[in-house]
Structure 1
């Protein structure tokens, strides 16, 4: 994906950096270094990594120095708060997309089991559902392009440790955005040729993985090439646990992001 980049450990942090700042930096590095492959298992692994990352972020937000830095700089506070809202929106978009696909898969499986004759009607309904999901993903990806977080002006902070803590909060947000770009593009991918949208480069990067590594694409292809019900059912059975794993990862992360946003709001009331 265009937004993804490998991240070397920063040399700007002084030796006396708080251990939590270093932990976040190291976790972000690991996440970005694992972005090469885009399969359902690799994305599930990245979601687990985000859970670990936000466990450290929660600890960082409990530090009095972090709370003071955010409380004393309204601009930084607003940026971090708005960032948490962006992450909630991303989590909910992915959750809704996976939930809709899970329902569509179940309906198509049921139709195949009880069918008498062809699958034309069921196929049309499934592909229509896919189209709706893709439109929502298209909107989300375009929104992510237009709302890229701007770097914080750390010069306003009163100490180097405060600068580092706030910078790492932004790095954590950026890491989540990158993983969700990967996740949404993976769900979006199909066997059809993508049109020239502004985020086409993201989809092309995801498509670098062969189509048999994308369970969504396999089902799309089997339906569009009029495979037998038995063949379609095989691909649906492969897609089902894929959706389940991704859904669980997104649900868990959503709870983490909600908790983090509550911690940020509490700082405002200190």
Structure 2
């Protein structure tokens, strides 16, 4: 799912300053530095911040008397259900991403706590690492299934001809664009949580040596290509497990895991805050729409 590279001129007749502000927020989201191949946590956090500003403006636009009057006249049109379904769909995806973050965070914090208490020298650490990696596998499978669902929705979605009111046409077109760009950013976030594009290949059939070589290669390439915090932590943990199994010196790997856990915690917290702020704005916009169409 790609961001719209060119916006339709759906709001040219609207003199209200909010229309130009919405266009500016779309431009920020479509800017080359935001939709580059980079999918780092800092890039995603920036996008989430842009989305929050965009949804703030959208809600203000919906609350304008002229907008409400225009939309209220079209309550019986088929696109009304499409708009409401779209707002609910975005909420569901946002909630799913939040759940994935929380589950990963809980397991990572438990692992960090045990490593502090046992200093990585006891069997309990290995079992907790395996527990974390098992949880990550469940989260990844859930995310991959959700991403396939988003691809299906992208292929199925279309804006059918409707309405004779130019004002309503403009607002609905804008709402559909907002839905699309929001789902695109959430898709990028879920890809980040799953470990990025590289992590999408299944590890279950690999030998321990193959895994170790893969994770060492990731570590060597980290300076040249971006490897997100989720993938770095997964890689460090797989390496530590291998070294424990082969009874080789794991001092460096243990320190690396501890550092990755700290970095991961900061990254996760920032993403979680961005998602929670976005979710509140999504709820607010949906309530505004329901107040128009249901009342």
Shorter-chain TM range is: 0.7 to 0.9
Change (3 A) 1:209 1:89: farther
Task: Give the structure 1 partner of residue 278 of structure 2.
Answer: 253
Equivalences, count: 255
Task: Give the structure 1 partner of residue 142 of structure 2.
Answer: 136
Task: Give the structure 1 partner of residue 186 of structure 2.
Answer: 180
How far residue 159 of structure 1 moved from its aligned partner, in angstroms, is 3.1
Cα deviation 1:37-80 (Å, max 9, x = unaligned)? 21111110110101000001101111233323433153121111
Aligned partner (choices 18, 24, 30) of residue 22 of structure 2: 24
Q: Which runs of 5+ in 2 are unaligned?
A: 203-221, 241-249
Q: Residue 59 in 1 paired to residue 49 in 2?
A: no
Contact 1:112–1:229 under 8 Å retained in 2: no
Which stretch shows the higher mean deviation, 156-165 or 26-35?
156-165
Q: RMSD of the TM alignment (CA)?
A: 2.3
Matches within 5 A, 1:6-45: 7-11=5-9, 13-14=11-12, 16=14, 18-33=16-31, 34-36=34-36, 37-45=38-46
Task: Give the structure 1 partner of residue 229 of structure 2.
Answer: 215
Distance in 2, matches of 1:211 and 1:217, equals 12
Q: Which runs of 5+ in 1 are unaligned?
A: 196-207
Larger radius of gyration: 2
Contact 1:39–1:213 under 8 Å retained in 2: yes
Contact 1:21–1:165 under 8 Å retained in 2: no
Contact 1:7–1:32 under 8 Å retained in 2: yes
Which stretch shows the higher mean deviation, 80-89 or 135-144?
135-144
Q: TM-score, normalised by structure 1?
A: 0.86
Q: TM-score, normalised by structure 2?
A: 0.79
